[in-house]
A and B are shown apart, each in its own frame.
Chain A
Amino acid sequence: MSDELKINVEGVGELAVDEDGFIEDPGKWSEAVAKHLAGTEGVTELSEDHWKLVNYLRNYYMEFNIAPMIRKLCKETGFNLKKVYELFPSGPAKGACKVAGLPKPTGCV
């Protein structure tokens, strides 16, 4: 088997992540995990706006088993693209989806 990559989240314990740093089991996500993952993406504090975005992604994924279109994310949160990148400088897929515990979208990304 591959050398398993893990993160150690305070109060939660060890969680397996993939080579891109996304958690392997989206079911193990929690707010504490989100805070830890945000740190790996250079987001040191999660504001109310961060949570709004993360929770939207999370709920959409739990319902549809896929990440939403960026259009839907902007429409439902009321944030424009610029604001999304301000909140998550590494972008909606590599940044926000990771923090929300989604798998990385497949495709040329």
Chain B
Amino acid sequence: MLANRREVADPGIDNALKKLTPEKIEAVVRKVFNPKVSARLKVYLDTCVHCGLCSNACHTYNSRDKDPRYSPVGKVKQTIWEIIKKDYKVDAGFIKLAARIAFVECNACRRCSMYCPFGIDIAFFMMTIRRICHLLGVVPQYLQDTVNSHSTTMNQMWVQQDDWIDALQWQEDDANMEVAGARIPLEVEGADFMYSVIAPEPKILAQLLANMSIIATKAGLNWTMPATDGWDNSNMAMYSGDFETMARVEKLHWETALRLKVKKVVMGECGHAFRGAVYDGPKWLSWRKTPIPMVHAIEFYYDLLKSGKIKVAKKFAEPVTVQDPCNVVRGRGLGKKLRYIMNALCADFRDVEPRMEHNYCCAAGGGVINCGAPWKRDRVEGNKVKAEQIKQTGADVIVTPCHNCHSGIEDIIGFYKLKVHVKFISEIMVEVMEK
């Protein structure tokens, strides 16, 4: 007998369930399952042979003594197939479990797709469940609060426009204390690139804005940031199933870049924001591709180091390891460039095993850390394998070029009592570069 899952109270789920009727649920499920709406869903369902080869790929499964309920195939069985088996007639109790599985037991990291013989995007099944939950109003409360902020302010942390500008100018001053003449140029039309960040940077981690200013100033780059909304390209609506809001956020972000007539967009150290801007956003907007190219921080730093625009004065001495963010390493193939950066900046880089596109998920991404405190214990218990993996490297520092990975791994370090610090690439770069 498998032990019951721990009961977790989440008003965003529990209160919404009270308003559901079987008819309402069936109507929404039929709408989402309509093959005319989602040919992709039908193809995946018809292709999966239920072989279970995806199981061993999942950190939540491996961290829970291979409990089959946490295998990717098990998650599909408990949700999507259950809906089909019941001929779309599922109840509120089912939605409660399905919401938990889709929102907090799957990070949509897509490691499992690498082990599926057909390469099925199994996370897409979970995103389909999230879409159903969103349409039923059943979304974890913390996650929905973040989506509400996107919807109202077009950024994820309720940052007002004047606060945004104030934060940039303040960090320009701080950067100036490190490098004379450092700028954060606002509203420069025709600049080589627009730099996009996510709201935790102006709200809390403002030093990351100064880091970019120091790096760009030293490298002599022609760049800009917008003074208007459209600067935040993070997108929790993409993970809550609210694809209408997701598209509004992405559209404004690209329109802002087009308004500034920049040649490309460089984005900070965040993973899902890249996915939203380059893949999911354009797809939902029926765009064939992004209107101008986007480069993730990893590619940006790689180019600066490779071209010699940024030179290293003295490499970082402490042993360092790295986390591969799913959306830019598995999703975009930036694993080798990430390692080039690590070796260029650090004297003692210790790679993880497994690594690159085979690396384990941080367990925070896919909107899971955004489901907040109620789900924290489930999240960190579901990633024992990551704690063991980090420990094995013997590193004192782990670099995470993604905000979700950063916070998620900090939580794992705290829970499993590892003596490791988490840093972004820019923090190490600014420390070791010639200034």
A residues contacting B by CB (< 8 A) are 1-3, 18-20, 22, 66, 69-72, 74-75, 80-81, 91-93, 104-109
Contacts and interface: CB of A to CB of B under 8 A. Distances in A.
Nearest to B169: A71
Contacts, number: 86
Instruction: Report whether over half of chain B's contact residues are helix, strand or loop; otherwise say mixed.
Output: helix
A92 B156 CA distance: 18
Contacts of A18: 372-374, 376
Interface string B192-236: 000000111011111100000000000000000000000000101
Interface of B: 6-9, 142, 145-146, 149, 156-159, 163, 166-167, 170, 174, 198-200, 202-207, 234, 236, 270, 369-370, 372-377, 403-404, 407
A48 B51 CA distance: 63
A20 B158 CA distance: 21
Contacts of B236: 107-108
B269 to A, nearest CB: 11
Contacts of A105: 157, 203-204
18 contacts: A2-B6, A2-B8, A2-B374, A18-B376, A19-B374, A19-B375, A20-B376, A66-B158, A69-B202, A70-B203, A71-B163, A75-B170, A81-B174, A106-B370, A107-B199, A107-B236, A108-B370, A108-B407
Contacts of A75: 170
A108 B403 contact: yes
B155 to A, nearest CB: 9
Nearest to A19: B376
Nearest to A4: B9
Contact of B159 (A3, A19, A69, A109): A69
Contacts of B369: 108
A81 B206 contact: yes
A92 B203 CA distance: 10
